[in-house]
Amino acid sequence: PAVGIVIVAAGSGTRLGHPEPKAFVVVGGRSLLERALEASFSLSEPASIVVVAPASHRAGAEEIAMRVAGAARDSVRVVVGGATRQQSVGAGLAALPEGTREVLIHDAARALQPVAVFERVVARIRADGVGVVPALPVVDTIARRAADDRVVEPVDRADLAVVQTPQGFPFPLYRAALASAAADHTDDMGVHRAAGQPVVVVEGDARGFKITTPWDLRRAEQLLGAERP
């Protein structure tokens, strides 16, 4: 397949307050990893999918991945992640087929991101050969603050974007960017930019919020409940 999707699920997710790693927490009857996989398998074209799992949960991730894949089990692999998100992404990229043209990197924690966002990212990479991130406008007033609580300056929110995943890149360019990354970045856009590569935004979706705190988990449960017939 032209498209490769790396689902990073190797974080511990301690802020969620659950004993198991975040990707294995269940919302509305299915784990976050299962939901992220379902979106990936719903793409309108075949994709090579790599799940990056914690070492402690490799077998559990395999079981979930195979169940969601069904007959397409050859298109999904599970690898073990690293100590940082960036290392986990590296492990995922290494497991993609050599001929992959576009790579999408997605947080399992953004389990409710609709597949339409994945499609938008792929289309824009193909159209322009650039890095692409889904983003939402900032609705709050934002201030830069100092350690002593002083407001240093208000920041014009029109200049800002809330960035989500999946973040997508031409595969060879992103692989090179990651190989040359000096610092540890919190997302892939940061890695691509640090290598001097252009990144553009496309429209994200409010459902693509990162499930981080117990409050987020409740919000996800309520959204799923509202979707039931």
Task: Give the residue nearest to ligand C5P (CB).
Answer: 11
User: Is residue 84 part of the contact set for ligand C5P (CB under 6 A)?
Assistant: yes
Q: What's the min distance (Å) between Cβ of 152 and ligand C5P?
A: 26
Q: Name the residue nearer to ligand C5P (CB basis): 106 or 124.
A: 106
- Which amino acid, one-letter code, is at 213? T
Q: DSSP assignment of the chain, as one string?
A: --EEEEEE-----GGGT-SS-GGG-EETTEEHHHHHHHHHHTSSS-EEEEEEE-GGGHHHHHHHHHHHHGGGGGGEEEEE--SSHHHHHHHHHHTS-TT--EEEEEETT-TT--HHHHHHHHHHHHHH-SEEEEEEE--S-EEEE-TTS-EEEEE-GGG-EEE-S-EEEEHHHHHHHHHT--SPPSSHHHHHHHTT--EEEEE--GGG----SHHHHHHHHHHHHHH--
User: Is residue 211 part of the contact set for ligand C5P (CB under 6 A)?
Assistant: no
Q: How many residues bind ligand C5P (CB under 6 A)?
A: 19
Q: Which of 125, 82, 95 is nearest to 6 (CA)?
A: 95
User: Is residue 90 part of the contact set for ligand C5P (CB under 6 A)?
Assistant: no
Applying CB under 6 A, among 3, 4, 5, 11 the residue interacting with ligand C5P is 11
User: Is residue 48 part of the contact set for ligand C5P (CB under 6 A)?
Assistant: no
User: Is residue 85 part of the contact set for ligand C5P (CB under 6 A)?
Assistant: yes
Phi, psi of 106, deg, nearest 5:
-130, 135
Q: What's the min distance (Å) between Cβ of 99 and ligand C5P?
A: 24
User: Is residue 8 part of the contact set for ligand C5P (CB under 6 A)?
Assistant: yes
User: Is residue 9 part of the contact set for ligand C5P (CB under 6 A)?
Assistant: yes
Residue 154's DSSP bridge partners are 143
Q: What's the min distance (Å) between Cβ of 21 and ligand C5P?
A: 7
Q: What's the min distance (Å) between Cβ of 62 and ligand C5P?
A: 16
Applying CB under 6 A, among 55, 71, 83, 152 the residue interacting with ligand C5P is 83
Q: Name the residue nearer to ligand C5P (CB basis): 84 or 195.
A: 84
Q: Which residues bind ligand C5P (CB under 6 A)?
A: 8-11, 22-23, 52, 81-85, 88, 107-109, 186, 210, 212
